[in-house]
Structure 1
Amino acid sequence: MDKESKRNKKEEKREEKHRLSCYTNRELSWLQFNVRVLREAENEHVPLAERLSFVSIYQSNLDEFFMVRVGTLMDQMHAGEKIRDNKTNMTSKQQVEAILERTRELEALKTKIYEQLMGELEPQNVHLINFNRLSKKEIAMLETYFDQNIAPFLMPMLIGKQQPFPFLNNKELYALMLLTTKSGKSKLGLVPCTNSAFKRLIEIPSRPGTFMLCEDLILQFASKLFPTYSVKEKSILRVTRNADIDGIEVYDEDLDYRGVMEQLIKQRTRLSPVRVELSHDINKKTCKELAKHLGINMKHVIRVDTPLDLSFVFQLQHYLRDRSELFYEKRSPCDSPALNMKESVLDQIGKKDVLLSYPYESMKPFLRMLHEAAEDESVISIRMTLYRVADQSKIIDALVEAAENGREVIVMVELRARFDEANNIEMSRRLEEAGCHIIYGLGKYKVHCKLCQIVRKREDDFQYITQIGTGNYNEKTARLYTDLSLLTANRDIGTDVDKVFRSLLMGETVSHIEHLMVAPHCLQNKVLALIEDEIEKAKHGRPSYIGVKLNSLTDKDIIEKLIDASEAGVKIELIIRGICCLVPAVPELTENITVISVVGRFLEHSRIYRFGVGEEEKVYISSADFMTRNTLRRVEVAVPIYDLAIKKQICHIFDTVLADDAKGKMQTRNREYIDRMLGEKKLDAQEVLYEEAYRAINREEPEKEEETE
C-alpha cells in the first residue's frame, strides 16, 4: 500500500470515528429520558401531589425497561448471539453492564428526590413513618394489629434441602430473612408481603395522616413468624422478570393464534429474573446464595433505599385530594370548534376535513361518528385497526352496536400489543360474538397503524369517511396523551386506506401506495426521499427545512440521512420525547440540528413530519416513530395533510411545543439535556394549547365532564 493510500485510509477512519460521535446508545438514551421524568418529581413548579406521580412513573418505566429491553439483551447474551448495537458497536453484554452501572447511579438521585418529597409532605400532615419514630405504646398497638390483621394471612417459608426455593412472582414484595437455630445452623426464610387480605398502606390510629407500609410491619415482626429461629439479617426483596415474549416468532397459519397468545401470556409470568432489588444490605454469602437460587448474576442485585414498590403514592394522593392547591388545575377536553355536535358528524366530515387534537379537544366527535355509522342505513361497512383500547371501551361498544345492526364490521385486532395482550384477546372475543369479522395480526409484522374507515353508499356512488391518527383508540389515554386525529372524506386518501385494509384482509402488506406512507415497504424510503429533496434544495441555495416530532429516533438509515442534510445546510428541528440516538451540535456534522425533549403534565405522543418551507412545505401526521421496528417491522401509516387550515394548525402545534422552555429541555453535544430560556417568561406548551382550545369555543372555565379513572 503506497503512502497516499495509507493517508486516505487513516482519513477515512478519522471521519468514521468523528461520525460515531453523532450517535448515542439506544438503552442509555432511554435512561436519560427516564431521568427527565424523575426530575419532574423535584420540579418546584409542579404541584406537590402531582410530583408523587412522577417518582412512581419513573419506577414503573424502569420496571418495564428491565422486563423488555434488558430481558431482550440478556436473551441475546445467553443464546451466544454476537449482536452489536449498530450505532455504538456495543455488545449485548456491554450494554447490560452499562445499564446496571447507570441504574445504580440513578438510585442515589431517586432516593434524594423521594426523601425530599416525603419531607415536603410533612407540613401537609402526611407522614410515612418507620419504627424509630414511634412510641412504645404505638409499637405495641401495631404489634396487636399485625397479630390480628396480617399474620393470619401470611405464609412463611423456610428454604432448605426439603424446602426448595419457591417461585417469586414478578414485581411482588417478599420479606427475606437469614435465620439461625440455637445450634448455629443457618437457613433462609421468605414471607410474601403482597396480599389482598390486608392494606399496603396502614394508617397509625393515634396519628391521623401518618402511615406505615405493610412490608415494614412484616419485617419488624418477622421473628414472630419463625419462633424457633433467631433473625440475623432481613430485607425486603423484589424480583423483576424478563417479559420479552414475541408472538411473531410463533405465528403459524395452522394454529389457533388467539390460543397461542394466551399461552404466551402465561409463560411471561415465569420467565427468568433480570433484576433483584433489596431494601437492606445482606451479607455477601447470603446474597450469593439468593442469586444462585434465582439464577442471576450478582451484578443484577441492586440495593435500593426507597420503598421497592412506589405505587402507594397514589393512595397518598387520594388522601390529599381535597387540597386542590396540591394538584394541577383541572383541565377537561373541549368540543371541537370545527364541528357542530347537534348535526350529523358524518355529513360534516363529508364536506370538510377536521382535525381533533387530544387532550385539548374531546374524542366525543369520533365516538359520535361511530355511533352514527352504526345506525346509518347508508353505511355499508366499518373497518378499523385496534392496538390498545380502554378496559371499558366505548369504541368497542360502538362496533358491537354496528355489527348487531347488520353493518359489515371488519376489525384488525393486534394481539401482540405488549402488556395489553389479555385485554385485546377479551375484546376480540366480544367483537366476534357480536358478528364482527376479526383479523389477528399479520404474520411477522405487528399492525400499529391507527385507521378507521366508514364506507357509505350514495345515490350512484359511494363515499369514504376516513380517520387516521397518531394515537390509540383509547378514551382514557386521549385525556392524558397528546395525539392528533384526522377525519376526512378525501377520495384519494380513502382509496389508499381501502388498499391498506384489503391488503390486511389478504394477509399481505402494501408494496406501492400513492398518497400515504405505509410501512414496512413504503414509509422509510419515502421519508429518506423527502430528506434528500431538502438536501438538494440546500445545495442549490434554496430555502430548506425538516421538522419532526416523535417519541423516539433510532432508525440508523434515517439518522444518517439527517446528518447528511445537516452537512448540506438544511435547518433541522427535532422534538423527541424519549430515545434519541442522534447527537446534535457536533461540529461539521450535526451543527444544523436542534433536539429538544418535552416531559410535562401530558405525555407528548403525536408524531408530526414537516419537509420544506412556505407553499412547498409537506406536512404529515403518523403512527410511526423513526425506529427501525416502526419503519421496517410494523404496519404503520403517515397521512399527508392537504387542507391548508389544518396544515397551519399542525405547524402551530409543532412550533408551540418547540418553543416550550418550561418543560422542554435541549440536548447538547455532550448528550446532556439542559434547561433553556427563550423569552422573558417561561412557556409551557401544553398550558398554552389548552388555553387556546378554551378560547376557541369561548370557554373561560373547564366544563364539568365525567371523570375518567
Structure 2
Amino acid sequence: MSKVLSPYVNRDLSWIEFNRRVLEEAQDPSTPLLDRAKFLAIVSSNLDEFMSVRMAGIQDQLKAGYTKMDFTGYTPQGLWKRLLKRTGQMVTEQYRTYREVMRGLAKENIHIRDMEDLNASQQGAMEDYFRKIVFPVLTPMAVDQSRPFPLLRTKELYLAVLLQEPDADEDAEPYFAIVQVPSILPRCVPVPAHGNSKKQEFVLLEDIIQTFIQNLFSGYKLTAVDPFRLTRNADLTLNEEGAEDLLEEIEKELRRRRWGMPVRLEIEEGFHPYALDLLREELEIEDHVVPIGGPLDLSFLMRFTGVLKGREDLRYPKLEPEYPRELEEHELIFDTIRERDVLLHHPYESFEPLTEFVQQAAEDPQVLAVKMTLYRVSGKSEIVQALAAAAESGKQVTVVVELKARFDEERNIAWARQLEKAGCHVVYGLVGLKTHAKILLVVRREEDQLRRYVHVGTGNYNDSTAKAYTDIGLFTSHPVIGADASALFNEVTGYSSPYEWQAFGVAPSDLMEKLFRLIDREREHAEAGRGGYIAAKMNSLSNQEMIDKLYEASRSGVRIDLIVRGVCCLRPGVPGLSENIRVVSIVDRFLEHSRLLYVRNAGEEQVYLSSADWMTRNLTRRIELMCPVFDPNLRESLISIIRLQLSDNVKARELKSTGGYERVLPAEDEQLLRSQFEAERNRIWKKEEDEKGAKIRV
C-alpha cells in the first residue's frame, strides 16, 4: 500500500526544495558564469542560516526529549534524520556544480589555483604576501593540559594542526593546535600574472597558510593541516519582559550567539581521524559532521565575483533602474503625491525617490513630523542620515527600529544610537512582537490644514537590497490611509486603545481575520455561481489555519493562484481538497520579495500590498501591514504583474501534490516568457494591456 500523504508539506523540507531551486540557477548553463558562482554563494549562505536557526531548533527539541508530531506528521527525530540526508545530498550536488563552474571560468582565463600549481615566481610572491600580510595576523592556539580547547566562533574558517617533535616515534600521540584563517583578510588572493598572460589567477587564503604554516611551529614536524568550520545555534533567546533596556539585552545576546551550541561541523575530505575525534569530543558533535569535496564555505564566491573587473560578458547585463516619470512632473514629490497615487516597482525603478522624499521632508519648513519603521537598512543609509537631519532641524522624528531583525541586530543597534544622538525619538517596538511593517508617514502643514503623506512598501527601506529584490511601494496622500498610518504609529509608540482600521489590515490584531473575510467572500461568490478567484504573491506560506481556509475555498470552487517563492506547506492539486489551487515559484536573477493579494470580488476587484507572508510568525507575532490600492489604474498595474508571473514559462516551477517542483514549460505553440526580463524590458507595470499583450520572445 502506498503511504497516505499528509494534507500539508513540512516547512523545513519545503525550504530544502526552495534552496534546490536556487542551486538549479547555478546549474543552468544559460545563467552567466559569474552569476552561477553567485547562486552557489547564496546556496551556502542560505544553508548557514538554515543550520543555525531551523536545524538548531530541532536539535534543541531533541535534547529536551520532545517527541510530539508537528501538523505535517513529523517528529523531531524523524525530521532531523530526513534533513541530514537531504542537506547532505544538496551539498554533494553543490560542490559538483562548483567544479563545473570552475572549469567554465578556467576556459575564460579565470582560475582559483592550488599553491602547488603555481610557478616558482608566483609561489615566491605568495610567500612574500604570507610573511608581510598574513603571518603577523595569525595566532596559533595550542591545546594541552595547560591550555584548554579554545572557544571557536560560528561560521569562521579554522585549520586543525597536528605536530610531532622531530625525534618522536611515529606512534607517539601528536600535539594539537588550531589556527584561525583571518576573516579580516580577503579569502581570494590575486596571483601576479606570468609575463603577458591574460589569465586572472587567485589562491585561497587557507591554501597559502597551509603551505607556509611551518613558520608558526618552528622546531616541530607537521603531521597534518586540515580546514574545518563550525556552525552554532544563532537563535536569540530574549527575556523581553524582564529586560530594562532592550538594546543592551540584545547586545548581550549577540555576544552569546558567537558561542551558541554547535549544530554542524564541516571538514575537508581526508581530514585526519585523530584531529576529527578530538573535535567531535570537544564540540560534542555526534551525527552532523559534513565532509566537503572542495573549499569550505562557498559564500566567498560572492566577493570573488565582485573583484573580477572587466568581465561584464560573464554577468547578466547591468540593470539601470529608471526614475519614475510621474515623479518628474514637479520639483517636490509632495506635489505629485497630492495629485495622484504613485507605484514604485523595484529594482526596475529607482529607490532614489524614497531617499529624496525623506530628504525633502527634512528640508521643507512646512513639514512638522516624520515617522518611519526601519527593519533592515544598508551600511551607508542616506535615509537614516536624512532622518537625523530632520530631527536636527527641529522636526518631530519618530523611528521604530526593529532591533531583533535576525543577523542585522548589530547594524540596527548602531543606527538606533546614531538617530538618538541626532534627537530622533527611537522606539524599539512592542514586547514580544517584531515590527516588520514597512511604512513612512510625513505630516505637512498646507493652507491652514495638515496633510499626511504615506509610503507603504513590501520591502525594507534599504537601497542595497532594492537593487536585487523585487518589491512594490505605494506613495499616497489618501486621507483614509493617512489616518490609519497615524493610528498605527500611535499604537506602536504609545498607549492607544484598539483601533478600527478603515483601510489597513494589521497583524497581530486583525490581519488574519481580514484575510479570512476576503477568502470567505470569494467562497460565497463561487457558491452563488458568480465565480470566485484569488491570486496572492508572497515569500512563504506555512500557517495551518490559512492553508485550511484556502482548502475550504478550493472545495467550494474558488480558483486560487499562488506565487510562493520559498516555503509552501500547502499541497495543491489533491482531489477533493485543493484541485482548484495552483502554486508556482519563480527563482531568477532578482529575489522575488513583494507580497500582493488580488481578489476578483465578482468584478469589483480589490488589490492589496503587504509586508506579511502567510506564516504564523507574521500573522500572530509581528506587527505587519496590508494596505489597499484605491487607484483603479494602479490596481490594474499590479494585476498585470501577477498575470505576468503566472504566465512565466522559463523560470517558474510548479508545486506538485507530491511536494516536489517541476519546471513550467511552454506549450508547443507558446512563446517563451520570462517574467523578470519582460518587466525589465517593457516596464509592463506602467502599461495598459490585456492578459495576452505581455508575451514576446526572450
TM-score, with length taken from structure 2: 0.92
SS at match of 2:398: strand
* Partner residue in 2 for 1:37: 22
SS at match of 1:310: coil
2:91 matches 1:75: no
Size of the aligned set, in residue pairs, is: 677
In structure 2, the gaps of 5 or more residues are 688-698
In structure 1, the gaps of 5 or more residues are 1-13, 698-709
Letter of the structure 2 residue corresponding to residue 292 of structure 1: E
* Partner residue in 2 for 1:552: 540
* Partner residue in 2 for 1:366: 354
* Partner residue in 1 for 2:44: 59
Contact 2:122 2:191 in 1 (8 A): no
- For residues 244 and 628 of structure 1, what CA distance do their matches in structure 2 show? 17
Letter of the structure 2 residue corresponding to residue 394 of structure 1: E
What does residue range 41-120 of structure 1 map to in structure 2 within 5 Å?
A: 41-82=26-67, 84-86=69-71, 88-120=72-104
- For residues 207 and 584 of structure 2, what CA distance do their matches in structure 1 show? 41
Q: Deviations over 1:383-423 (max 9, x none)?
A: 11111111211111221222122211111111111111111
What does residue range 149-548 of structure 1 map to in structure 2 within 5 Å?
A: 150-181=134-165, 182-183=168-169, 184-194=172-182, 196=184, 200-203=188-191, 206=194, 208-223=199-214, 225-247=216-238, 249-252=239-242, 255-282=244-271, 284=273, 286-297=275-286, 299-318=287-306, 320-340=308-328, 342-506=330-494, 510=498, 512-548=500-536
Contact 1:201 1:212 in 2 (8 A): yes
- For residues 447 and 330 of structure 2, what CA distance do their matches in structure 1 show? 25
SS at match of 2:328: coil
Contact 1:334 1:693 in 2 (8 A): no
Q: 1:471 to 1:158 in 2, by over 3 A?
A: same
Q: Deviations over 1:476-524 (max 9, x none)?
A: 1111111111111111111112111111122568464232110002111
Contact 2:538 2:593 in 1 (8 A): yes
CA RMSD of aligned residues (A): 2.5
* Partner residue in 1 for 2:673: 683
Letter of the structure 2 residue corresponding to residue 359 of structure 1: P
2:561 matches 1:564: no
Q: 1:195 to 1:46 in 2, by over 3 A?
A: closer
- For residues 80 and 71 of structure 1, what CA distance do their matches in structure 2 show? 14
In the TM superposition, residue 571 of structure 1 has moved relative to its aligned partner by: 0.8
Contact 2:189 2:204 in 1 (8 A): yes
Q: State percent identity of aligned pairs.
A: 38
- For residues 197 and 387 of structure 1, what CA distance do their matches in structure 2 show? 29
Letter of the structure 1 residue corresponding to residue 200 of structure 2: G
SS at match of 2:160: strand
What does residue range 682-701 of structure 1 map to in structure 2 within 5 Å?
A: 682-693=672-683
Letter of the structure 1 residue corresponding to residue 58 of structure 2: L
- For residues 509 and 304 of structure 2, what CA distance do their matches in structure 1 show? 49
Contact 1:611 1:618 in 2 (8 A): yes
In the TM superposition, residue 239 of structure 1 has moved relative to its aligned partner by: 0.7
- For residues 694 and 116 of structure 1, what CA distance do their matches in structure 2 show? 36
Q: 1:57 to 1:668 in 2, by over 3 A?
A: same
Q: Deviations over 1:422-443 (max 9, x none)?
A: 1111111222122211111211
Letter of the structure 2 residue corresponding to residue 628 of structure 1: T
Q: Deviations over 1:276-305 (max 9, x none)?
A: 1001233555423211111222x1111011
In the TM superposition, residue 630 of structure 1 has moved relative to its aligned partner by: 0.2
Q: Deviations over 1:334-361 (max 9, x none)?
A: 1112222543211221121111111111
2:13 matches 1:24: no
Contact 1:236 1:280 in 2 (8 A): no
Q: Which moved more, 1:54-63 or 1:314-323?
A: 314-323
Pairing partner for 1:121 from 77, 83, 105: 105
Q: Deviations over 1:119-153 (max 9, x none)?
A: 00111111122255456776677556645654454
Q: 1:63 to 1:450 in 2, by over 3 A?
A: same
Contact 2:520 2:553 in 1 (8 A): yes
- For residues 481 and 316 of structure 2, what CA distance do their matches in structure 1 show? 40
SS at match of 1:339: helix
Q: Which moved more, 1:554-563 or 1:683-692?
A: 683-692
Contact 2:572 2:581 in 1 (8 A): yes
- For residues 485 and 538 of structure 1, what CA distance do their matches in structure 2 show? 32
- For residues 132 and 387 of structure 2, what CA distance do their matches in structure 1 show? 50
Contact 2:563 2:583 in 1 (8 A): yes
Q: Deviations over 1:38-89 (max 9, x none)?
A: 1111212211111111101110111111112222222333344455423x23
- For residues 563 and 408 of structure 1, what CA distance do their matches in structure 2 show? 47
Q: Deviations over 1:320-379 (max 9, x none)?
A: 431221111121111112222543211221121111111111122222222222233332
Contact 1:21 1:586 in 2 (8 A): no
SS at match of 1:292: helix
* Partner residue in 2 for 1:706: none
- For residues 674 and 258 of structure 1, what CA distance do their matches in structure 2 show? 45
* Partner residue in 2 for 1:4: none
* Partner residue in 1 for 2:694: none
Contact 1:149 1:198 in 2 (8 A): no
Contact 2:351 2:463 in 1 (8 A): yes
Q: 1:140 to 1:609 in 2, by over 3 A?
A: same
Letter of the structure 2 residue corresponding to residue 219 of structure 1: Q
* Partner residue in 2 for 1:635: 623
- For residues 163 and 497 of structure 2, what CA distance do their matches in structure 1 show? 60
- For residues 346 and 185 of structure 2, what CA distance do their matches in structure 1 show? 39
SS at match of 2:441: strand
Contact 1:349 1:487 in 2 (8 A): yes
- For residues 345 and 149 of structure 1, what CA distance do their matches in structure 2 show? 50
* Partner residue in 1 for 2:691: none
Q: 1:649 to 1:148 in 2, by over 3 A?
A: closer
Q: Deviations over 1:1-38 (max 9, x none)?
A: xxxxxxxxxxxxx9xx95x5331111111111111111
In the TM superposition, residue 221 of structure 1 has moved relative to its aligned partner by: 4.3
Q: Which moved more, 1:567-576 or 1:395-404?
A: 395-404
Pairing partner for 2:614 from 605, 610, 626: 626
Q: Which moved more, 1:579-588 or 1:601-610?
A: 579-588
